Amino acid sequence: MYRCVLVLLASLWIAVSPAAAQVQRNFPADALRGALVVENVPEITLNGAPARLAPGARIRGQNNLLVMSGSIAGQRQLVHYTVDMQGHVKDVWILTPEEAARRPWPSTPQEAASWSFDSAAQTWTRK
């Protein structure tokens, strides 16, 4: 009987685990979309232009777990990112295909200032 309960619990865990990984991430309203390439940390290329990671910058993978910058060095990643007061990139989220398909998403602060953001739906609307 004890083994049957363990097998049942294990099978439920396996069935539920992929669903838990599908949780929608909520991005802040100041998150911009861009193409990021980690060069020589903290130096990066963002949308083809040189940029810099802020001290303590966090990069989250598609599974929302932290990613070490060295593990993605040289790879082009489609991301959402935020910048700090000095203009350094502080938070980065590597996008899943579903997140990347959400359009439009601003890639400049000027676009973000002129568009409207629905934080519940995680969508932008051009005004």
Instruction: Quick: pLDDT tens for 36-82.
Output: 999 999 999 999 999 999 999 999 999 999 999 999 999 999 999 99
Residue 89, C-beta contacts closer than 8 angstroms, at least 6 positions apart: 36, 44, 46, 51, 52, 53, 54, 57, 81, 82, 83
For residue 19, pLDDT over 50 is answered with no
Separation of alpha carbons 17 and 13, rounded Å = 6
Q: Given pLDDT bands bounded at 50, 70 and 90, which one contains residue 10?
A: low
Let me know if residue 5 belongs to a domain: no
Listed range (8-12, 81-85, 100-104, 120-124) with the worst mean pLDDT: 8-12
Q: In which domain, by residue range, is 64 found?
A: 25-126
Count of the separate structural domains present in the chain:
1
Let me know if residue 53 belongs to a domain: yes
Let me know if residue 29 belongs to a domain: yes
